[in-house]
Amino acid sequence: MTTVGILGGGQLARMLALSGAPLGLRFLVLDSTADACAAQFVPSLQADYRDQPALAEFASRIDVATFDFENVPAESAQWLAERIPVFPSPRALAIAQDRLAEKSLFRELGIGTPDFVDIDSRDSLLAAIEKIGMPAILKTRRLGYDGKGQFRIKSQADIDAAWESLGSQASSVGLILEAFVPFQRELSVVAVRGKDGEFRAWPITENWHESGVLSASLAPATVDEALAAAAIANARRVAEALDYVGVFALELFVHEGRLLANEMAPRVHNSGHWTIEGAETSQFENHLRAVLGLPLGNTRSIGESCMLNWIGRLPSAEPILAEACGHWHDYGKTSRVGRKVGHATLRAGTRAELAEALVRVGDALERTGQVQPVLDRLSQG
């Protein structure tokens, strides 16, 4: 029986393990925390990701390794790759961990991005602002996610506060200044590439964020065919340039009809959770198929889906479960401000049916603000 090792034991590892059970797979998780939620279902090791004896034990007990979040040290992935197969590759992980390397790759591939400048001092920040203009966003090059490690600079008055907040990290994780994009829509391409180079993508997903954290996703997104084709072509270029194996997400802004790449996630992705119930093959199953060299599953959508993210605490499950199209996912985490603790997916046969269910759920859970942007988009046809 094949054992898959997962670096990181969060909800993504948990859902990978759940999707791999019907395939007859076993799993082993390595996580630095004592309460990793995937460990509720699969054997686990608790250790620092740089602990070589722990990595050696991990490697001795598995057939292939993958990871469930992009801040696993790339050097640890490389250490493992010298001993066992690791997918995606440590190179893909390293590039996705560094916003400057990532955006430089996009630019090399002819994929549009917001303007950006590497920042290594306050003087370089001032020069970059002069070049890019304001508003702009100062970000850490590494370790930022879900809106963390960012400071929006709207005027000259914000420059000192931005440097006070992030300047100390210029010499450790690095900084980058990006032009602010007044986007009209946020889209993502969730795609998979197999060991043999086969590439498949799920329908384009439209996303809404609150305080930098994904709040809701709608799939398939209502986008014209040319824009959808361009988005998927961008994802394919990234996957082929990195010789990528597994699932990844390419996050995109739509600004005045033009696609601008924000970032990529070298793993299964929050905006692809709807695929568990809303696609022929979920992102989790296809990731496992890819890293094991199995044939990829069909990525077509089944009906119309909306995923709602639960942040901080879980609401009542009953209004979701009362819907014929409702599906509930509790990650088994304790409540904490800003923490992803679960999600729900509503899948319906038509957009009208999906909208009706969203109205009922929004009213029952007192979350009309969360569902309203989705309803607005659905009403546009």
- Residue 147 — pLDDT band, cuts 50, 70, 90? low
247, β-bridge pairs = 192
pLDDT band at 160 (very low <50, low <70, confident <90, very high): confident
Ramachandran angles phi, psi of 275, nearest 5°: -70, -15
Helix (H, G, I), strand (E, B) or coil at 138: strand
End-to-end CA distance of the chain: 48
**What average pLDDT does range 64-68 have in this prediction?**
96
CB hemisphere CA count around 193 (13 angstroms): 23
The pLDDT value given to residue 122: 86
Q: Which residue has the tokens 């029986």?
A: 1
> What single DSSP character describes residue 172?
T
How confident is the model at residue 189, as a pLDDT? 98
Q: What are phi and psi of 185, to 5 degrees?
A: -150, 155
User: What is the model's pLDDT at position 121?
Assistant: 85
Give the per-residue pLDDT at 157.
Answer: 84
CATH of 115-179, one of 3.40.50.1700, 3.90.1560.10, 3.30.1490.20, 1.10.10.10: 3.30.1490.20
378, 354 in Cβ contact below 8 A? yes
Instruction: Determine the pLDDT at residue 381.
Output: 64
Confidence of residue 360 (pLDDT cuts 50, 70, 90): very high
Interval 321-355: pLDDT, tens: 999 999 999 999 999 998 999 999 999 999 999 99
User: Where residue 53 falls among pLDDT bands split at 50, 70, 90?
Assistant: very high
Q: Are 325 and 305 in contact (CB under 8 A)?
A: no
| pLDDT, mean of residues 256-273 | 95
Q: Would the pLDDT of 8 be above 60?
A: yes
Question: What count of Cα atoms within 13 Å lies in the side-chain half-sphere of residue 152?
Answer: 8
Same fold, 3-86 and 115-179: no
For the chain, give every domain's residue range: 3-86, 115-179, 185-379
Do 287 and 268 form a contact (C-beta atoms < 8 A)? Answer: yes
**pLDDT above 60: residue 167:** yes
Mean pLDDT lowest among 62-66, 91-95, 208-212, 263-267: 208-212
Residues 6+ apart with CB under 8 A from 346: 305, 306, 308, 320, 323, 325, 326, 327, 354, 357, 358, 361
- Provide the β-strand partners of residue 168: none
The better pLDDT of the pair 149, 63 is held by 63
Q: Considering only the top CATH level, what class is 3-86?
A: alpha beta
Q: Range with the lowest mean pLDDT among 56-60, 94-98, 171-175?
A: 171-175
Architecture of domain 185-379: 2-Layer Sandwich (3.30)
Mean pLDDT (whole number) for 116-142: 89
- The residue among 268, 306, 270 whose CA lies nearest residue 290 is 268
When pLDDT is cut at 50, 70 and 90, the band that residue 165 belongs to is confident
Global pTM reads 0.94
Could you tell me if 241 and 331 are in contact, meaning their C-beta atoms sit under 8 angstroms apart? no
What pLDDT shows up at residue 203? 98
Is it the case that residue 175 has pLDDT exceeding 80? yes
Q: CA neighbours within 13 Å on the CB side: how many for 46?
A: 7
Q: Across-strand partners of 208?
A: 216
Mean of pLDDT values over 213-225: 96
Task: Please give the angle made by the CA atoms of 338, 343 and 349, to the nearest 5 degrees.
Answer: 145
Distance CA 166, CA 229 (A): 38
**With bands split at pLDDT 50, 70 and 90, how would you rate the model's confidence at 174?**
confident
Q: At residue 11, what is the residue type? A: Q
Q: Length of the chain in residues, anyone?
A: 381
Average pLDDT, the chain: 94
CA-wise closest residue to 291 among 193, 365, 152: 193
Give, for 77, the enclosing helix (H) or strand (E): helix 74-81
| pLDDT over 80 (residue 320) | yes
pLDDT of residue 145 exceeding 80: no
Q: DSSP labels for 1-61?
A: --EEEEE--SHHHHHHHHHHGGGT-EEEEEESSTT-GGGGTS-EEE--TT-HHHHHHHHHT
pLDDT at 211: 84
pLDDT digit string (tens) for 280-314? Answer: 999 999 999 999 999 999 999 999 999 999 999 99
Q: What is the Cα–Cα distance from 162 to 168, expressed in whole angstroms?
A: 11
Pairing mode, strands 3-7 and 64-67: parallel
CB of 324 closer than 8 Å to CB of 347: no
Residue 257 has pLDDT above 70, yes or no: yes
In whole angstroms, what is the distance from residue 223 CA to residue 238 CA? Answer: 21
Instruction: List 26's β-bridge partners, or say none.
Output: 3
pLDDT per position as a tens digit, 178-199? 999 899 999 999 999 999 999 9
Looking at residue 155, its pLDDT comes to: 85
SS3 of residue 367 by DSSP: coil
**pLDDT attached to residue 146:** 57
Are the beta carbons of 70 and 251 closer than 8 angstroms? no
- The 3-class SS string of 206-227 reads EEEEECCEEEEEEECCCCCHHH
